[in-house]
Structure 1
């Protein structure tokens, strides 16, 4: 198996409601291997997850729900606007996410590896670590409407989440490739197919 250092890799990101998961899944259907850091974080904080013991020890049993998973709603409320608590949670999760991400990527058998990283720009650690960066982009008003409809949030709540993320400009500034997703998701496939063909050629040349 080709080592990860020799493989062609993509870092895929986008703001909340941009359609990252939809785009990633289209690439997956075409033969890319997906390594989703959000999915890894959820697994780490699920019942029996590798992060649960450390979270219980640091934050207390009140942050673990009846099923043994991290109480995401309570933790989200606790760390929002509390930089110290957020850093403590990140100190637990980030090393585990990095090791699990590397493990999944090394085991990947697809034509190339796509790391799906919602906070790619914000983390400050991904730029330069992948062969290319792909940004799923849309108008901010489209983001707001999608998230309000999908999550049942108020506009102010969505705007607060967006304000805590990197700006649209900051994401586009690091992009090698962009998928625009302002309309129906069915319109995404031609652009994804175009990029997949380009990525296949680059992967085979790597």
Structure 2
């Protein structure tokens, strides 16, 4: 029986305010599907979900809003102040996020798809099944400037947010491809177009390899 080839999967990551969303939008404009871990994290704790029930069991019903949804601002404050609570929440949410992303990648009907995973470096052991890693990188000073402007926060908080993530060196060590995002829109367009061509070729090569194995 012939094997059904798994779609070619590119994991897209980068530090906070490095420009992941700008890169993801460009791939979407080229017709590629991008499945976002942040979207998954919201989906797996929707009202009525097993994920939300597990959160309530772990933290109590006061984590819910009046309409039965997870009170995200309150939950963020709670886990920011309590590392043990953060780990408990991550143990509930992260496996469900990974499953959500895996299901969508396997069902994707395009030549390739992307998974936008901000914390890929911190969780790479769970994503060994992806075919390629694309890192969007920017100098930390530029990240800081963008983060302060984007979120309306002070520089001290922005520095702490950056420091909580994996280092640039750790992310780049995982990368098969790197986009240097210094804010030049034209260069970003060209970089994504170049990688799109590369990924189409790699995806076609994978399909041919699977086909050859089936005929052997």
What's the TM-score once normalised by structure 2's chain length?
0.87
Residue 53 (structure 1) aligns with: 53
What RMSD in Å do the two structures reach over aligned CA positions? Answer: 1.8
Match of 2:204 in 1: 204
Match of 2:112 in 1: 112
Q: Where do 4+ consecutive residues of structure 1 move more than 4 Å?
A: none
| 1:130, distance to aligned residue in structure 2 (A) | 1.5
Aligned length: 204
Residue 15 (structure 2) pairs with residue 24 (structure 1): no
- Which residue does the alignment assign to 1:36? 36
Distance change in 2, residues 1:110/1:134 (3 Å): same
- For the 8 Å contact 2:144–2:159, the answer to whether it is kept is yes
Structure 1 unmatched runs, 5+: none
5 Å-filtered alignment, 1:163-182, equals 163-182=163-182
Residue 47 (structure 1) shift: 3.8
CA spacing shift, 1:50–1:110, aligned 2, 3 Å: farther
Q: CA deviation at 1:66?
A: 2.2
- Larger mean Cα displacement after TM superposition, 116-125 or 181-190: 181-190
Q: Deviations 1:103-136 (Å, cap 9, x if unpaired)? A: 2112211220211110000113246321111000
Pick closer, same or farther for the CA change 1:95–1:44 going to 2, 3 Å.
same
**1:144 and 1:159 in contact (8 A); partners too:** yes
* 1:143-158 correspondence runs (5 A): 143-158=143-158
Contact 2:35 2:104 in 1 (8 A): yes
1:180-195 correspondence runs (5 A): 180-195=180-195
Deviation at 1:30, TM superposition (A): 1.2
Q: Deviations for 1:143-168, whole angstroms, at most 9, x for unmatched residues?
A: 11111111111111111111110011
1:12 aligns with 2:6: no
TM-score (norm 1): 0.91
1:162 paired to 2:140: no
Q: Given the superposition, is the C-alpha separation of residues 164 and 32 from structure 1 closer, same or farther in structure 2, using an over 3 Å criterion? A: same
Offset of 1:187 from its aligned partner?
3.1
The C-alpha deviation readout for 1:15-62, integer Å capped at 9, x for no partner, is: 000111110121122132212111110122344444221111211122
Instruction: Judge conservation of contact 2:138–2:180 (CA < 8 Å) in 1.
Output: yes
Q: Deviations over 1:72-94 (max 9, x none)?
A: 12211211253321121112112
Q: Secondary structure at the match of 1:68?
A: coil
Counterpart CA distance in 1 for 2:70 and 2:53 is: 10
CA distance in 2, matches of 1:91, 1:110: 31
* Segment of structure 1 superposing worse, 106-115 or 9-18: 106-115
> In the TM superposition, what is the alpha-carbon distance from 1:141 to its structure 2 partner?
1.1
d(CA) in 1 for partners of 2:130, 2:174: 12
Task: Note closer, same or farther for the CA distance 1:3–1:84 as it changes in structure 2 (3 Å cut).
Answer: farther
- When structure 1 is superposed on structure 2, of 175-184 and 12-21 the one drifting more is 175-184
**Any gaps of 5 or more consecutive residues in structure 2?**
207-216
